[in-house]
Amino acid sequence: MARHTYDYPRPCLTVDCVVFGLDETALQVLLIQRAIEPHAGCWALPGGFVEMGESLEAAARRELQEETSLDISYLEQLYTFGGVDRDPRDRVVTVAYYALVKRLDHVARASSDARQVGWFPVNDLPPLAFDHEVIMAAAHERLRGKVRYQPIGFELLPTKFTLRQLQHVYETILDRALDKRNFRKKILSMDLLIELDETEQGVAHRAARLYRFDRRKYERLSKRGFLFEI
Amino acid sequence: MARHTYDYPRPCLTVDCVVFGLDETALQVLLIQRAIEPHAGCWALPGGFVEMGESLEAAARRELQEETSLDISYLEQLYTFGGVDRDPRDRVVTVAYYALVKRLDHVARASSDARQVGWFPVNDLPPLAFDHEVIMAAAHERLRGKVRYQPIGFELLPTKFTLRQLQHVYETILDRALDKRNFRKKILSMDLLIELDETEQGVAHRAARLYRFDRRKYERLSKRGFLFEI
DNA sequence: CCAAAAGTGTTTCACGTACACCCATGC
DNA sequence: GCATGGGTGTACGTGAAACACTTTTGG
């Protein structure tokens, strides 16, 4: 194996990803079970080393591709964790990202290699390796804050969704009930949803209308100072 | 010199700091003039290598102490920049921080070593080394966003300040005029300012009352869900 | 026809915004 | 006494919040 030598010591640099998805009931996070020490058998955030020829975001995307077959609909840098004792073996600095995926699309949960992969409700997580509980808490906090003034709730839903589903996203993330009429009024008054000529299928009651988010229009308005807010 | 050898190549890890200060007229940023290549003679953000025994924030504080004799009243991690071609010599990943200092306190600008240090108005900066203009823009953007819903405006003022000065902080950062009566009503209604039995000195007109920010009270309220907002 | 969720309007109240004048002080 | 900024109150309109009933559909 090639060796790499430097005049001064260098920390190890990794990326870790907090992947949020939504099922019918709760906000969930993707974890992998570690195969090797330290913390072998423990659940941890997906992540790995940053390679020399790739940007940080590229490293995060590559790791997510390797661990799962999900397509990421939103990815943003969260924070960089650089405490001296994060890893008992070596000084490891990690750049954390958080991602949103449309889990309702593909119910299947595929894992490329032999490692155990699982979704866990954010409010009922197993113990995590390293300082990953701190990273998780930071990601959850950021999601709660960001969802209120950026249109990222849509990234957790299929392209076509009902207003009920959208309200459910907000209720789940903000962890409080919202008034149905006020929610619909508010979201529709922004005029960023396109009403489709379709309704949901296979429900045992009146079928709800489907909508999709008009991203183009949002981006245009956003440049002119429009602020999304729930 | 000791050599350090690893199985895989590692990027270099640095911190860079965007230090904001306010003078009577404008929002300013602290820059240093580079003594060595690349970009020798060019202005750049203060920063340097992260050492193995210190956290990222500790590295940022150390660099700021070395460059200037300012005491930092607010320091927060901004973003980590990890583009592959940031530095022509080597792969360098930098964790950027932004800091707020009470410049009105000490008018003196001291520099510990021989390097040239200077304050520049954010709206009229010289060309910067590396990708520091991108970092600057991100810091400025973050400051504008954060000042509206976190009580960080106070960090740019002396401990005792007048409402006029505080309004001026907000007008400078948000880059728009605020109505004097509404501003005073809003800020006083939060009941987070302690009215002192002192007035400003040496002005050629009626002297304004001095206030100070009640940080304890803010922290108490904050834990109970209170949201600061201008 | 019944269950279950979709869909819709109005009233109330708080708060943001716009706006003009008197007051205290130093020179 | 005058110039300069300090300090205050009110009216208006917008938007958030609270709240209940009718409609549609599948079984």
The CATH number given to whatever domain includes residue B126 is 3.90.79.10
Position of tokens 């079970």?
A33
Decide: A99 and A15 in contact? Cβ < 8 Å: no
Statement to judge: residues A193 and A138 lie in one domain: no
Statement to judge: residues A105 and A158 lie in one domain: no
CA of A184 to C1' of D16 (A): 13
Dig out the tokens for A12 from the structure.
């190890």
Please state whether strand C lies within 7 Å of residue B207 at its CB atom: yes
pLDDT for res B108: 44
For residue B2, being part of any structural domain is answered with no
For residue B4, being part of any structural domain is answered with no
For residue B229, being part of any structural domain is answered with no
pLDDT for res B106: 53
Name the strand (E) or helix (H) holding A80.
strand A72-81
Sign of CA dihedral A217, A220, A226, A227: positive
Sign of CA dihedral B73, B77, B79, B80: positive
Strand-pair partners of A21: A28
Q: Distance (Å, rounded) from C-alpha A205 to C-alpha A17?
A: 39
Position of tokens 């203060």?
B46
Instruction: Please give, rounded to a whole number of angstroms, the shortest distance from the CA of B95 to a CA of chain A.
Output: 7
List the Cα angle B92/B93/B99 in 5-degree steps: 120
pLDDT in tens, chain B (230 residues): 779 999 999 999 999 999 999 988 899 999 999 999 899 999 999 999 999 999 999 999 999 998 887 889 999 999 999 999 999 999 999 999 999 999 865 544 555 555 789 999 999 999 999 999 999 999 999 999 999 999 999 999 999 999 999 999 999 999 999 999 999 999 999 999 999 999 999 899 999 999 999 999 999 999 998 999 99
Statement to judge: residues B127 and B18 lie in one domain: yes
pLDDT for res B180: 98
- Choose among B75, B65, B82: nearest CA to B134: B82
- Residue A154 phi/psi, 5-degree rounding, is -60, -25
CB crowding B90-104: b at 16 or more within 10 Å, else e: ebbbbbbbbbbbbbe
Statement to judge: residues A114 and A134 lie in one domain: yes
- Choose among B39, B18, B36: nearest CA to B88: B39
For A88-123, the pLDDT digits (tens) are 999 999 999 999 999 866 544 555 555 789 999 999
- Choose among A148, A122, A147: nearest CA to A135: A122
Q: Which of residues B127, B147, B167 is at a domain's end?
A: B147
For residue A114, being part of any structural domain is answered with yes
Which is more confident, A70 or A86?
A86
Would you call the peptide bond into B46 cis, given omega within 30 degrees of 0 as the criterion? no
Query: What is the domain extent for residue B143?
Result: 12-147
Strand-pair partners of A174: none
Statement to judge: residues B163 and B177 lie in one domain: yes
Statement to judge: residues A97 and A139 lie in one domain: yes
Statement to judge: residues B177 and B113 lie in one domain: no
Interchain proximity B3–A5, CB inside 8 Å: yes
pLDDT for res A69: 78
- A215: which residues sit within 8 A by CB, 6+ positions away? none
pTM of the entire predicted model: 0.94
Residue A2: band (very low, low, confident or very high) from pLDDT cuts 50, 70, 90: confident
Query: Which of B55, B85, B148 is best to mutate for the A interface (most A CBs within 10 A)?
Result: B55
Provide the pairing of β-strand B193-199 with A12-22: unpaired
Name the strand (E) or helix (H) holding A95.
strand A92-101
Instruction: Please give, rounded to a whole number of angstroms, the shortest distance from the CA of B30 to a CA of chain A.
Output: 24
Q: Which amino acid is at B131?
A: D
Would you give the DSSP letter of residue A78?
E
Window 113-152 of A, Cβ < 8 Å to B: none
Q: Which of residues B147, B179, B199 is at a domain's end?
A: B147
| pLDDT surpassing 90 at residue A230 | yes
Statement to judge: residues B40 and B126 lie in one domain: yes
pLDDT for res A68: 81
Taking the C1' atom of every nucleotide in all shown strands and the CA of B202, the nearest one is C26
CATH assignment at residue A207: 1.10.10.10
CA of B153 to C1' of D9 (A): 27
Q: Which of residues B147, B168, B203 is at a domain's end?
A: B147
Name the strand (E) or helix (H) holding A17.
strand A12-22
For residue B83, being part of any structural domain is answered with yes
For residue A5, being part of any structural domain is answered with no
For residue B209, being part of any structural domain is answered with yes
Decide: B42 and B125 in contact? Cβ < 8 Å: no
Q: How distant is the alpha carbon of residue B192 from its chain centre?
A: 22
pLDDT for res A108: 44
Dig out the tokens for A199 from the structure.
């309704």
Interchain proximity B4–A3, CB inside 8 Å: no
Statement to judge: residues B90 and B185 lie in one domain: no
Residue A72: band (very low, low, confident or very high) from pLDDT cuts 50, 70, 90: very high
- Choose among A31, A93, A99, A87: nearest CA to A61: A99
Mean pLDDT of A78-85: 98
- What is the tally of structural domains in chain B? 2
Residues in B 126-165 whose C-beta is less than 7 A from nucleic strand C are none
Cα end-to-end distance, chain B, whole Å: 54
Statement to judge: residues A76 and A171 lie in one domain: no
Q: Distance (Å, rounded) from C-alpha A70 to C-alpha A20?
A: 11
CB crowding A189-204: b at 16 or more within 10 Å, else e: ebebbeeeeeeeeeee
For residue A229, being part of any structural domain is answered with no
What does the H/E/C string look like for chain B?
CCCEEECCCCCEEEEEEEEEEECCCCEEEEEEECCCCCCCCCEECCEEECCCCCCHHHHHHHHHHHHCCCCEEEEEEEEEECCCCCCCCCCEEEEEEEEEECCCCCCCCCCCCCCCEEEEECCCCCCECCCHHHHHHHHHHHHHHHHCCCCCHHHHCCCCECHHHHHHHHHHHHCCCCCHHHHHHHHHHCCCEEEEEEECCCCCCCCCEEEEECHHHHHHHHHCCCCCCC
Q: What is the mean pLDDT of chain A?
A: 93
Statement to judge: residues A139 and A28 lie in one domain: yes
Three-class secondary structure of residue A67 per DSSP: helix
Alpha carbons within 13 A on the beta-carbon side of A2: 5
Name the strand (E) or helix (H) holding A33.
strand A27-33
Q: Which amino acid is at B167?
A: Q
Please state whether strand C lies within 7 Å of residue A225 at its CB atom: no
Statement to judge: residues A143 and A190 lie in one domain: no
List the Cα angle B202/B207/B210 in 5-degree steps: 100
pLDDT for res B109: 53
Would you give the DSSP letter of residue A193?
E
Window 84-113 of B, Cβ < 8 Å to A: 84, 91, 93, 95
pLDDT for res B68: 81
Which is more confident, A141 or A71?
A141
Interchain proximity A13–B9, CB inside 8 Å: no
pLDDT for res A106: 53
